[in-house]
Structure 1
Amino acid sequence: MVRRKIGHIFRILTLVILILTIHSTLKRLLVMKRYGYRRQETSTSIAAPQLNSSLTRQSIHRDITTKCPWIVRKNTLPNFYTRRGAFGIDDNFSPSSPYANGNVVFLHNQKSGGTTIKGCLRQIAAKLNIPQPTLIWNANAAEFYLILSKRNDSGENITLSKFYYGGHTFRVCDFASKPCSYFTVLRDPVERVISSYEFCKVRYMEPQCRVRNASEVSINEWAVSQGSFFFRQLSYNPLFCMRFFDDLLRKLVKPGDLPTAIGHSQCWYRNELIINHLLTEDDKYAILHYILDNLENWFAVIGLTEEWETTLHLLQKAYNLPFHSTCSGKMTNYHPYTEEGERHRSVTSGHFSRREIVESLKKRLWSDKDVIQALKFDLIIYERAKEIFSSQVQAYNQTLSVT
C-alpha cells in the first residue's frame, strides 16, 4: 500500500516536472519567435535578431523605454562617419566642428584596449594644456550622477570637463550644455572574457574581479558569471549602485559569489543582479533591439581592438585630436596567458603560442551552450559593431580621396 502511494506520488512529481519543462521550453521559443533570435550555422558568431513582422520598432522602443526609462540617452552626437549628415551636421573636419569642440566621453569596455585609450587621452590633455580626464568608475558613479541630477533639476547650467573616461560614463552627455559625444572600443566578447579571466587571476582586487575568484573557477564558469558585459554597460542604471538597494541585493546574490560581490564598489554586478530580478527575457530582448537600433545614434566612433591602428585613425579624424599620432603602436596588456599556457604544456608536453592558446580556449567556450547563452547579447552587439566599423572605414577612406 505504502509503495503504491509512493509510486503514485513519484508519477505525479514526474508529470509536474515534465509540464514545467515544457512550459519553460515553450516560453523560450515564444521569446525567440518574437524577437527572431537565431544561431548562425558557423560556430563562432550569433546572428543579429530579426524583428517579428507583427511588431514594430516603434512599439518595442516605446514599451521598453517606458518600463526602463534610464536606458534613454540625450544630447549625443551621432556617428561621425555614418550619421552626421542625417542629423544635419555639416561635413566639417575643422577644429570648430561640434565633435572636436564638444565634450568627449570614452566608454571603457573592460579588456578591450581601454587602458591604452585612457593613457592616450591623458597624453592628449597634457599636450592641449587642459585638465586631465575625469574618471567615472564603480566606486564613484552613483554619487557622481546623483550630484549632476540634483544640479540639473535645479536648473543649473552644468559645465562638463573636456574628457571623461571609465566603465560608467554612458550618461555623461545627458547633462551636457554643449555638443557631447561618446566613443568606445570593442573586442570579440569570447576573447574579452578570456583576457578578463587571466587578468583577474593577477589583479584580483579590481572591481570586475571581486565577484568570483578567477583562480578557483574554470574559464567556462567565469564566462557565465561575467555575462554580457557591454550590454550591461548600455542598460546600466547608476541608482542601483546606491546603498538603498543593499537589502534587496543580499537576497539576490548567487551561490559561489564572494563576500565582496555586492560591495558599494561593485556597481556593475549590482546592476546585473537587479536588472535580472526586474526584467523578463522579453524585456532584455527589447533592450537589445533598442541598443542595436541606436548604436550609431549614440557613438560618434566605434573602434575594434583587432583593428587598433585603423581605430586610432578614425578617432583622430573625427575629433581632430592626435589619437594616432600619440598612441600608434602602443597597446597595454597586463597578462600574457602564461598560467593558462603552462596548463596546456603540462597536458600536451608541447609549446603553444599565445594565439594558439587563445584559439583553443575560444573553441572550448563556443562549445558550451551555457557560456554562449550568457554572452549572447554581447555577441549580437559585436556583430552589429563590426558592420558599423566597416561603414566607418569606407566613409573615412572617402574623406581621404577628397582631401
Structure 2
Amino acid sequence: MVERRLLVRWLRPYTGEPPPALDGSSRSDLLTRFAGIAVPHFVSAVMRLGGDAEPPQLPTAHNRKTVRVAGRQIVARDADVVALTLTDPAAAALPRWHPGAHVDVHLPSGRVRQYSLCGDPADEDEYRIAVRRVPHGGGGSIEAHHLTVGQLIEISAPRNGFMMPVPGSGSRAERLRFVAAGIGITPILPMIRQADRLGVPWSLRYAGRHRASLPFVDELTAFGDKVQIRTDDAAHGAPTAVDLLDGVDERTAVYVCGPPPLIEVVRAAVPADAELHIERFSPLPVVDAAPFEVELARTGEVVPVAGDASTLAALRAVRPNLAYSCQQGFCGTCVQRVLGGEVAHLDHTLTDRQRELGRMLVCVSRAKTAGARLILDL
C-alpha cells in the first residue's frame, strides 16, 4: 500500500481520467497514463462493486486468464526463491502493467496467492513472478515451488496498489530512494528499470540476513554503485535508518517493501515532507486489541479471538481451508457475511453500502467492543 497521506488521493471511483498527481496539483501523472489497464484494475480492487452491489467475492473463472509456466529459475543462492516466467499458451500478448503491479495466482489446490510482477513491463509476451518458500506458512509458497515448466495455471489481470509517479510528472520529488529486504525486492525491480530507462536519479538500499538469501543479486549488481547491498551477518546487525535513508531529504520519494520492522524503521525516520510509498508482504502484528468471540451460525460453534490475533487467524484454527490471500484488507478474498454484532471495519476495500449489508473482511476487522460476539455465516 501507499502511505495513507498519499493513498487517500486514489480512493475515488475511476472516471476514465488518470488520478490527480500525488502532490495535489492538477497535473496528471505521466506514468499513470502509461499504466493503461493497471489503473482501473487497482481502483476496482479499492472501490469494487459500489452502490447496492454485492461485495468482493472469490475470483471466478470468467475473470481469470490461463497462462503457461514457460520458465523456472532459482534466483537466490539458498534455493528458497524461485522465479516463474508465465506466457500465454497461444503466444498472444499479455495485458500491460505498470511497476508495482501484482497478480492473483490460482494454484491447482484452489489456493489463491498474490505475487508482484518482477519482470520488465515493456515485455508484453511474458510475466515474471518470484516466490520465497515459507515452510510453515499456509502451503501456497510450497505449492508454487512445485509448479513445473509447461504446466497451466490461472491468474488475474494485473492490479496495482503501489503506483510509481516519477519526478517531473506529478511528483514533487527530484530523485528516488528504493528500500527493500529479501523478497520485497520483487515490486521494486520494475521500478528500478523504469527509473533507469527514463533517466531519473535513483538509488537502492537492499537488506537481508545473508547474501545467499537475497534474490536477483546478479541483476542488481549490474547497476553499479546505485545499488548498496547490506546483510546482517556482514554488518553485525539489522539496518538502521542511517543505513537505509542516507542522503534522503524532502526532495526524495521513498519506496519501501519488506517486513514490518524494516518498514517501521523507514516510516519513523523519513523526512516529514518526503513522499513515502509502502508495500507490505505480511500483515501488521495485532497488538493489544480487544478480545471477542465469533459464533459460526451454521454450527453454533463459538470461536474466541484473542487480543493478539486476527479474526482470520482464529477462524483458520478451526476452519483451515478458509480462503484468504493478502491478509491486509485489500484483496477481498476473505469476505464473510455478518448476521449479528457490531464490526469495527479496518479495511479500505468495502464500501459503506457493503458494510451496511453485513460484509466483513476477517483478515483485519474485528468486533467493535471487547467481549462482544459476532455471528458469521461462514
Could you tell me the TM-score, scaled by structure 2's length?
0.29
Q: Identify the structure with bigger relative contact order (alpha carbons < 8 Å, sequence gap 6+).
A: 1
Larger radius of gyration: 1
